[in-house]
């Protein structure tokens, strides 16, 4: 499919300010791309009930740990060029594994909605800042048919920020944090990911 990459459409002219490795992360060859890396996941015990509910809807990763291996697959379907599908598979040293799947749908301007299960989604605004790709959440939502019911971030784990930073021509750092105005950092994961040369 020789079309403009979805992320280039979202970012507009700011796309050209991204380092090549971040651009390649979103330029899918044959409509599919995979990166691998090592990551950590951390969260305080008190958020477990809310994280449990989020996992029931298919969101986030509930395994805590460091140096976990991760495989992230992305693809676009020919009949849905404005939707980016994700599948994140994480393996821990103890043999356990989990999958976090989602889809990002283009809305307008620099806005996406990332959907997990049961119509639950997260509004995201994207920018390029100091050569870094930055996602910022702008409220959750629950979609029932064509109706979207807004849900403030404060009613869940908080406000999410995702930053992708180039490390080399073939690797980048991912930093994902959720901050709650009352409880501080309620969830974080990140790591270093590699694209095939």
Beta carbons within 8 Å of 48's beta carbon, 6+ residues apart: none
Instruction: Give average pLDDT by consecutive 10-residue segment, the chain, 197 residues.
Output: 76 96 88 93 95 93 95 93 95 93 96 96 98 97 94 94 97 98 97 89
Residue 197, pLDDT score:
65
Could you tell me the CA-to-CA distances from 121 to 59, 62, 91, 141, 184 in Å, in that order? 9, 18, 25, 5, 22
Residue 1, pLDDT score:
44
Triad 117, 52, 126: Cα angle to 5°: 55
Residue 5, pLDDT score:
81
C-alpha 18/C-alpha 12 separation (Å) is 11
Task: List, in order of start, the domains of the chain with CATH numbers.
Answer: 6-194 (2.40.128.20)
Residue 66, pLDDT score:
95
Q: Residue 98: how many CA atoms within 13 Å on its side-chain side? A: 15
């Amino acid at each position: 499919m020789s079309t403009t990459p979805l992320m280039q459409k979202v970012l507009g002219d700011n796309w050209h300010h991204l380092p090549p490795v971040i651009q390649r992360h979103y330029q899918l060859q044959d409509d599919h791309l995979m990166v691998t890396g090592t990551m950590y996941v951390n969260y305080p015990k008190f958020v477990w009930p809310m994280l449990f509910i989020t996992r029931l809807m298919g969101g986030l990763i509930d395994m805590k740990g460091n140096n976990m291996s991760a495989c992230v697959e992305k693809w676009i379907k020919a009949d849905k060029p404005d939707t980016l599908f994700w599948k994140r598979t994480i393996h821990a040293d103890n043999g356990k594994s989990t999958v976090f799947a989602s889809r990002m749908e283009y809305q307008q301007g620099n806005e996406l909605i990332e959907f997990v299960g049961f119509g639950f989604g997260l509004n995201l605004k994207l920018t390029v800042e100091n050569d870094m790709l930055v996602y910022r959440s702008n409220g959750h939502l629950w979609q029932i048919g064509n109706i979207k019911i807004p849900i403030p971030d404060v009613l869940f784990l908080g406000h999410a920020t995702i930053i992708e930073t180039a490390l080399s021509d073939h690797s980048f750092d991912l930093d994902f944090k959720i901050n709650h105005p009352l409880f501080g950092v309620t969830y974080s994961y990140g790591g270093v990911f590699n694209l095939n040369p």
